[in-house]
Every structure is written in structure tokens, then in C-alpha cells.
């Protein structure tokens, strides 16, 4: 494990980059700004390494764009319509930073906060980085003083694990997600249309015209967003609402495999496992070539894909979709893994 200075914030506070590696030469680089996964290098079928996450080379670029590349998003990942949050009968108004929606924690969500980083004890030779952040009562409109710890672990067999723990002095919602944009062909290699995707869910929650969740679960059977069997993403895009992607309900059966992606060109695979109750597939349709990535190539529509493991954004009011509330004396713990193969 190594650390280096990545750059200063306008306030003068420094941002560090921590790199976790393994004996095979694979590595992940994580920033103390927003817990951003800035680089993730894994081998293809020939053993050649490539960076498979979208992102930037400089801190300035991360601060000027706001596509959440590689970041930890919250307190609530996803869109809260009208910013109206209800917690145990009390109403809170969250700032609207996405039209009439509160998106990914607000104007200065956890993706824009500076996290404290320390090396965590290694487990079976794997390197771990622990990030902590204290979110005070009222930050971005949320109730409760919240302490969050996120541990990233990178194993010898190229598995990136994300474990979170949170405590609060009041009942408050927390639904973190890891918002990396993946391209198994390599960052900047073009569209992910030829990637093949499988999602182990038969139920989703449709979006409405404002891109918020309608609150009603529907079967994927007979619809264009049915990924129960592996499908080429490019073939599925015309059948997705605005070519965007949907939120799939996973149930509450504990830690299990929820998605798999194959890039036959490179031979790389990605298998996602989680104990979260929802999975948001996003096709990166909103990338419009105005952002230039690490390789010097502009990111166009579908230059990557996201598989965001999270809770339901309205979970405080819809416990049947998964409970996202943190209660005093009852720490919230979650785990997600991104396992790369070839």
C-alpha cells in the first residue's frame, strides 16, 4: 500500500491518493475526496493490465465535473422527489440539486467531502483502506449526527470489497452506493454496447418523467429491461426508458451474487455481490463527450456502465423495499464486492 499527494482543494486542504496492490500487479487507487476509485487496473485474458474505471488525472477535473465518477454517494443515493424526506412521521426538506429532485446527497454530498484515511489490518494478505467521515446533524438537510466508516479491500484474486458501518444519535436514513463507471475493455476504449449483462432480479421500480422512482414494483417479464438471462447491452438499450437503466429489487436474502458482466473482446468479467436491497443499472447515456478522461479520450454516451448497490431511496417510508434507517445503538452494516476475472 502506498500514498501520495493528489492535489489541494481551493480551501488549501490536501487530497491524498492511496494505492492498494497485489502480487499479480493489479491495483486500485482511492482518493480521500469522496472515497473516489480513481483507477482500477486488472488483467485481460492475455494477462495485460488496463484501467477499467472512468475518471480523471487531476483533482481539478474531479472538482469541475459532477458525474460522480468512482465516488461514494449519499447520504441517500438516487433521487428523492421534491426533496421531501419523512422519517418516523417527521418531515425534512432536502436541497434540490437535480431539477425537482434531491440527488445523491445534495449539492455537497458525501462524494464531495474529505474522508480521513488509515491503513486497516490486512486479512489473508489483502490490503485494506479505512475511510471515516463525521456528518453533523443538519448537513444537507439530513437529521442526526452520523459517523460513517468505509473499508475498501483489494484481494490477491482481484476482488474489490466495500464494507460500510454507520452509527447515529438520531433515526436517520443512510443509503450509500459506490458509483464507479466500468468499461471492461479499458477506460477510454469506447462504448460498452458489446458487453453482456446479467442481473439476478425479476422485479424493478419504473422511473417517471422526472427520472424519479414511481414507488410501484413491476415484473421485468416481457419488458426491455429483462436481464435475467445474459444480454448484449447494445441490444437492450432501445428497450430501456430513455436508454438509461433501471432500479432492480433484490430482496433481503443477505449477501449474494446479483449481477455479472462479460466483455468477450478483452475476456474480462465482473461479478457483483451485495447484501443491499437494490441494484441500479446505469448505462451512462448522459455522457456527451464534453468530459475528457485519463486516456485523453472524450467520454461519449455508454462509455461505461454503473452497477450501484444501494437501498431504496424512499426506504424510510417503504420498508418492504429494504430498510435504510440507522437507529441509535444499532449500527448499520453493508457489504458489496466487485470481483474481476478473465
- Three-class SS state of 122: strand
What cell was used for 98? 437535480
CA distance 27 to 36: 14
83 φψ region: left (φ > 0), alpha (ψ -120 to 50), beta (else):
left
- Which position has the grid cell 476509485? 37
Q: CB–CB of 263/243 below 8 Å?
A: no
What are the DSSP calls for 5-24, one per residue? EEEE-TTS-EEEEEEEE-TT
Among 102, 179, 195, 302, the active-site one is 179
Sign for the pseudo-dihedral over CA of 156, 157, 159, 165: negative
What are the DSSP calls for 186-252, one per residue? -TTS---TT-EEEE--SEEE-B-TTS-B-S--EE-TTSTT--SS-EEHHHHGGGSGGGT--EEE--S
What cell was used for 167? 452509527
187 is catalytic: no
Among 127, 139, 308, 310, the active-site one is 308
CA 44 vs CA 53, 156, 230, 262: distances in Å:
14, 15, 20, 11
Q: CB–CB of 243/237 below 8 Å?
A: yes
Residue 216: Cβ-neighbour burial (10 angstroms; 0-12, 13-18, 19+): exposed
- Which position has the grid cell 433501471? 246
61 is catalytic: no
CA atoms within 13 A on the CB side of 298: 8
CA atoms within 13 A on the CB side of 137: 7
User: What residues act catalytically?
Assistant: 179, 308
Amino acid at each position: 500500500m502506498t500514498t501520495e499527494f493528489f492535489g489541494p482543494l481551493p480551501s488549501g486542504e490536501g487530497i491524498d491518493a492511496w494505492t492498494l496492490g497485489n502480487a499479480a500487479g493489479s491495483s486500485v487507487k482511492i482518493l480521500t475526496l469522496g472515497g473516489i476509485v480513481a483507477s482500477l487496473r486488472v488483467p485481460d485474458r492475455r494477462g495485460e493490465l488496463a484501467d477499467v474505471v472512468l475518471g480523471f488525472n487531476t483533482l481539478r477535473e474531479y472538482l469541475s465535473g459532477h458525474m460522480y465518477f468512482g465516488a461514494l454517494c449519499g447520504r441517500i443515493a438516487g433521487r428523492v422527489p421534491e426533496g421531501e424526506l419523512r422519517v418516523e412521521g417527521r418531515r425534512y426538506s432536502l436541497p434540490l440539486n437535480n431539477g425537482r429532485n434531491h440527488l445523491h446527497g445534495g449539492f455537497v454530498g458525501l462524494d464531495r467531502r474529505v474522508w480521513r484515511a488509515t491503513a486497516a489490518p490486512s486479512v489473508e494478505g489483502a490490503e485494506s483502506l479505512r475511510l471515516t467521515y463525521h456528518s453533523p446533524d443538519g448537513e444537507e438537510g439530513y437529521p442526526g449526527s452520523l459517523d460513517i466508516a468505509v473499508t475498501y479491500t483489494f484481494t490477491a484474486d482481484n476482488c474489490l470489497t466495500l464494507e460500510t458501518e454507520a452509527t447515529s444519535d438520531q433515526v436517520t436514513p443512510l443509503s450509500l452506493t459506490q458509483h464507479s463507471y466500468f468499461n471492461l475493455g479499458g477506460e477510454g476504449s469506447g462504448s460498452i454496447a458489446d458487453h453482456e449483462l446479467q442481473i439476478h432480479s425479476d422485479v424493478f421500480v419504473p422511473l417517471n418523467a422526472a427520472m424519479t422512482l414511481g414507488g410501484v414494483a413491476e415484473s421485468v417479464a416481457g419488458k426491455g429491461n429483462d436481464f435475467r438471462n445474459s444480454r448484449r447491452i447494445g441490444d437492450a438499450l432501445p428497450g430501456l426508458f430513455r436508454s438509461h437503466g433501471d432500479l432492480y429489487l433484490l430482496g433481503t436474502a443477505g449477501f449474494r451474487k446479483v449481477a455479472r458482466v462479460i466483455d468477450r473482446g478483452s475476456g474480462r468479467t465482473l461479478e457483483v455481490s451485495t447484501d443491499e436491497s437494490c441494484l441500479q443499472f446505469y448505462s451512462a447515456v448522459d455522457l456527451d463527450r464534453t468530459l475528457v478522461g485519463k486516456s485523453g479520450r472524450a467520454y461519449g454516451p455508454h462509455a461505461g456502465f454503473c452497477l450501484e448497490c444501494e437501498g431504496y431511496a424512499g426506504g424510510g417510508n417503504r420498508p418492504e423495499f429494504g430498510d435504510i434507517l440507522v437507529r441509535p445503538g444499532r449500527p448499520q452494516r453493508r457489504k458489496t464486492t466487485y470481483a474481476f476475472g478473465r
